[in-house]
Amino acid sequence: MATKLLLTFAICRLIVTVGLTLDPTELLLLGVDAQLSVDPTDVKAASLDFGLLIGAQPPLAVMHPASSQDVAQLVKAAYGSNFGFTVSARGHGHSINGQAQTANGVVVQMSGSKGGSGMASGRKPPHPRVWPQERFVDVWGGELWIDVLRSTLQHGLAPKSWTDYLYLSVGGTLSNAGISGQAFNHGPQISNVHELDVVTGKGELLTCSEEQNSEMFHAVLGGLGQFGIITRARISLEPAPQRVRWIRVLYSNFSIFTSDQEYLISLHEQPASQKFDYVEGFVIVDEGLINNWRSSFFSPHNPVKISSLDPNGGVLYCLEIAKNYHESTASTVDQEVESLLKKLNFIPASVFTTDLPYVDFLDRVHKAELKLRSKGLWEVPHPWLNLFVPKSKIADFDKGVFKGILGNKTSGPILIYPMNKNKWDHRSSAVTPDEDVFYLVALLRSALDNGEETHSLEYLTNQNRQILRFCDEAGITVKQYLPHYTTHQEWVDHFGNKWDRFYRLKMEFDPRHILASGQQIFTPTNMASWR
C-alpha cells in the first residue's frame, strides 16, 4: 500500500509538472505500476552517469521494464499526454554528457532490471536466447555484453565485434556504433545485427530488419536513441576461439606506426591465418603512462623505460595486436604471428607477448576497473573526447595534438587505431569521415582532485576545446564519436548530408521529441505546438 501511495504521488507530480491528461489511477491501470519506482536510490542512480560532468538531473520516476510491452505502454502514455513528458532509456549509465538523463520525465532503466528495486511484480526481462544452427542470439536491449558473451559461449559461439569494455548495454552501444579492435575486420557492432524490436516515440512496437521496416532498422543503428528504444536485438555470432596471443610493440616514428597499422587492416579480406584478429594502438606522451592501467600488460620483471627507447624524450606509439586461436591449433600460432611481425617496422627490442583465455582478453578493461575502484579512481569526472580523424589528416593531428597541445602530461590512455569505411553501412545513422580509412582517437582522461593542474577537470575540459579548435582551424574534418553538442547548427554540421533524412525520420517516428532528450538534438514539444 505504501508503495502504491508513493507511486501515485509521483504520477501526480508528473501531472502537475507536464500537464498529463491521465488520471493517476488510469496510469496505474496501464499495467506498468509495478515497474515504476520513485525510490530515492533508483532516482539518484538514474540522475548520474559515468562522465560525472553534468549536474545531477533527477527524473520524476524510474521504470524497470520486464518486456517490450511495458516500454511501449509508458511511451504511448507520454505521447498521448497533453504536454508529453520525456522518456529516456538508460543502460549501464556509461554516457559522458548526460545523454540518458531527463529532468522532466521517466528514465527507463533497461540494464539491471532483473534485480531492480522497482521490480515489485517479480517479472523480469527475457534472458538471451541462442540459436546455434543459425548463429545468432536474441537479447534484451538492456543486456550487458558480458552476459551476452557468457550465454553464447555455452554453445561455443560469440559475437564478432566488440567494445573494449563489456559492461555496456546492447541497446546503448547499438545506438552509437560499438567499436573496438575487431572493427577493421567485422565492422562495428551495428554492422553485425540481423533484427531489432524497437518502441517508437509514438509507443508503437516495431520489428525491423533489412527486409522489414528497413528504414527504421538503419535509422536506429547509430541513431543516438532518437527514433526508438531498442528492446530486442538479434546479434550475429561466430565460433568462439579459446585463447588469444596478445602482442604489443613500440614505435618512435608516427609515420611508420600508422603505416604498419594501415597495412594490418588492409589484410581484412585475407584468410584468418594471414591476418590479426584485433588491431588497436595507443599513444604514450609521458613515462607515467607506461605503468598505468592501460599498460599493465607490461611485465614488472621487464620494466619499460621511455628514455631507453627514445633518448630525445619524444612521444612513443604502441601497436596492440591479437591473434585468436584454439588449443588444437596452438602449434601454428607461432609461425603465423612471426610471419606477420616480420612485415612490421617496430623497435626490435620492444616486443611484449602474453597468452590468455579469450574471455580474459575481452574482459581486460573490467579487471582494470576493479583496481581503479579499489583506489577510489573510478567514480571521478571523465572528460573523454572521442574523435574520428580522416587518414589524410592523421599526421597533422599527431603534430598538433600529440606533439603539441598535450605537452608531456596526460591523465589517462589515448587510443588510436584505423578502421575501414567499407565495413560500415552508409545507411545507418552513424557518422564517419568521408575517406576509405579513418582513425579513432580516444582521449580517455580522468579528472583528479590531487592538486595537479594538468589533472583538473577545468584543465582537461579546456584542453578538449583547444583540440577541437585546432582541428577546425587546421582543416581537419573530425567527426565526434559519442557526440555531444549544445546547438542546433552543430548537430546539423555533425550529420552533414545525413541531416535531412535524420530530421525526416525523427518527425515520423518521434514527432513530439519525447525520446532521448538528454542528447540535446531536439527540444521536446507540447501537443498544442505540435498540432
176-187 residue pLDDT tens: 999 999 999 999
- Residue intervals in the chain for CATH 3.40.462.10: 243-480
Q: Is the pLDDT of residue 12 over 90?
A: no
Contacts of 330 (CB under 8 A, 6+ apart): 243
Distances (CA, A) of 478 to 221, 407, 490, 493, 495: 21, 21, 13, 11, 12
In this prediction, residues 126-138 reach a mean pLDDT of 98
CA-to-CA distance for 478 and 471, rounded, in angstroms? Answer: 7
Banded pLDDT at 113 (limits 50, 70, 90): low
Q: What is the pLDDT of residue 335?
A: 96
Element (H, E) at 321: strand 316-325
Q: What is the pLDDT of residue 10?
A: 55
In this prediction, residues 15-38 reach a mean pLDDT of 55
Q: What is the pLDDT of residue 531?
A: 40
Q: What is the pLDDT of residue 314?
A: 80
CA-to-CA distance for 87 and 102, rounded, in angstroms? Answer: 7
CA-to-CA distance for 342 and 288, rounded, in angstroms? Answer: 30
In this prediction, residues 461-486 reach a mean pLDDT of 97
Banded pLDDT at 114 (limits 50, 70, 90): very low
Q: Is the pLDDT of residue 261 over 90?
A: yes
Q: Supply the mean pLDDT for the chain.
A: 89
pLDDT in tens, 76-87: 999 988 766 899
Q: Is the pLDDT of residue 196 over 80?
A: yes
Q: Is the pLDDT of residue 411 over 90?
A: no
Distances (CA, A) of 64 to 39, 295, 457: 12, 38, 33
CATH of domain 16-122+510-519: 3.30.43.10
Q: Which residues of 285-317 are buried (b: 16+ CB within 10 A; e: fewer)?
A: bbeebbebbbbeebeeeeebebeebbeeebbbb
Distances (CA, A) of 153 to 130, 195, 243, 245, 426: 10, 21, 13, 19, 31
In 405-500, DSSP assigns E strands to 414-420, 437-443, 479-480
Annotation says 94 is catalytic: yes
Annotation says 280 is catalytic: yes
Banded pLDDT at 104 (limits 50, 70, 90): confident
Q: What angle do CA 113, 238, 160 make, to 5 degrees?
A: 65
CATH of domain 243-480: 3.40.462.10
- Pairwise pLDDT comparison (527 vs 510), residue with the higher score: 510
Q: What is the pLDDT of residue 14?
A: 54
Distances (CA, A) of 206 to 200, 220, 227, 230, 232: 8, 12, 11, 10, 10
pLDDT in tens, 293-338: 344 444 444 445 555 565 455 899 999 999 999 998 888 999 999 9
Q: Is the pLDDT of residue 467 over 90?
A: yes
Element (H, E) at 352: strand 352-357
pLDDT in tens, 339-398: 999 999 999 999 999 999 999 999 999 999 999 999 999 999 999 999 999 999 999 999
- Residue intervals in the chain for CATH 3.30.43.10: 16-122+510-519
Q: What is the pLDDT of residue 220?
A: 98
Q: Could you tell me if 27 and 60 are in contact, meaning their C-beta atoms sit under 8 angstroms apart?
A: no
Q: Which of 312-316, 507-511, 521-525 has the lowest mean pLDDT?
A: 312-316
| Per-range mean pLDDT, top range of 29-43, 276-290, 403-417 | 403-417
Q: What is the pLDDT of residue 35?
A: 78
Of 197, 260, 280, 336, the catalytic one is: 280
- Residue intervals in the chain for CATH 3.30.465.10: 129-239
CA-to-CA distance for 163 and 309, rounded, in angstroms? Answer: 31
Q: What is the pLDDT of residue 34?
A: 54
CATH of domain 129-239: 3.30.465.10
Q: Is the pLDDT of residue 444 over 80?
A: yes
Banded pLDDT at 451 (limits 50, 70, 90): confident
Q: Is the pLDDT of residue 62 over 60?
A: yes
Q: Is the pLDDT of residue 498 over 80?
A: yes
CA-to-CA distance for 180 and 362, rounded, in angstroms? Answer: 10
Pick from 368, 512, 370: nearest CA to 78: 512
Q: Is the pLDDT of residue 75 over 50?
A: yes
Q: What are the helix (H) ranges across 452-498?
A: 457-473, 488-495
Q: Is the pLDDT of residue 281 over 80?
A: yes
Q: What is the pLDDT of residue 305?
A: 55
Contacts of 498 (CB under 8 A, 6+ apart): 429, 431
Contacts of 478 (CB under 8 A, 6+ apart): 387, 388, 389, 390, 433, 468, 471
Q: What is the DSSP letter of 459?
A: H
CA-to-CA distance for 482 and 487, rounded, in angstroms? Answer: 16
Q: What is the pLDDT of residue 525?
A: 72
pLDDT in tens, 197-207: 999 999 999 99
Beta 205-209 vs 193-200: how paired, if at all?
Answer: antiparallel
Banded pLDDT at 7 (limits 50, 70, 90): low
In this prediction, residues 487-511 reach a mean pLDDT of 97
Across-strand partners of 193? 235
Q: Is the pLDDT of residue 419 over 70?
A: yes
Q: Which of 267-271, 373-377, 527-531 has the lowest mean pLDDT?
A: 527-531
Of 164, 286, 336, 398, the catalytic one is: 164
Q: What is the pLDDT of residue 81?
A: 83
Q: What angle do CA 285, 287, 291 make, to 5 degrees?
A: 115
Q: What is the pTM of this model?
A: 0.92
Pick from 322, 316, 328, 326: nearest CA to 340: 322
Of 64, 94, 382, 455, the catalytic one is: 94
Q: Could you tell me if 83 and 39 are in contact, meaning their C-beta atoms sit under 8 angstroms apart?
A: no
